[in-house]
Amino acid sequence: MTSSLSTPGRWRRFACMMYESVLLFGVIFTASYLFDTLTQSRSGLDLRYGRQLVLFLALGVYFILSWRRLGQTLPMKTWNIRLVDIYGRIPALHMLVLRYMLIWPLPLLGALLIKQLSTYTGYASTDLLIVFTPFLNFIWTWFDTDQQFLHDRLSKTRLIDARPARRATPAA
């Protein structure tokens, strides 16, 4: 059980997100390698939508299995962040699937806007701004009373501080 139900700060969640992106490289690489091997595709553009579906599912399996087991991925464990339901327990499977699905709309909307901006300006380099789209999920935290993500509010989950409680040491 966790020692507190306080929300980890935005900087800790951001750092966790950066660490997560490093590990996700391995998940994406492995899923892409298996996809390319099994389909004999020679380019990232071959079977593009099938590849996107496989990567979406691979990421979903990674996150949902990690959250279901201990409420944490490895980066969440490192940064002492745990995913729980509103009662402080590991969320049910349907809540985890819903949370994973709800993580995507804001970043995808941001990616669409960047693509439109790139087309409008004629500068292909504008596409590089896509690296910032995952951070759109943080916008809601500035308006939420508990600084929770919108996808957590909607899926009835929350991120909590999982640092162990400090023991009071007797004064000498």
Mean pLDDT by runs of 10 across the 172 residues of the chain is 72 95 95 92 83 96 96 95 95 97 95 90 83 92 94 96 75 57
pLDDT, one tens digit per residue, over 30-70 is 999 999 999 998 877 788 899 999 999 999 999 999 999 99
pLDDT at residue 3, rounded to an integer: 44
DSSP H helices in the chain: 10-39, 48-70, 74-78, 93-103, 105-121, 150-155
The pTM (predicted TM-score) of the whole model is 0.86
pLDDT at residue 38, rounded to an integer: 93
Place of tokens 């980890």: 8
User: DSSP letter at 46?
Assistant: T
Q: What is the rounded distance in angstroms from the CA atom of residue 96 to the CA atom of residue 93?
A: 5
Closest C-alpha to 71, from 140, 136, 1: 1
pLDDT at residue 88, rounded to an integer: 92
Q: What is the rounded distance in angstroms from the CA atom of residue 76 to the CA atom of residue 101?
A: 19
pLDDT at residue 125, rounded to an integer: 80
Place of tokens 């596409």: 127
pLDDT at residue 128, rounded to an integer: 84
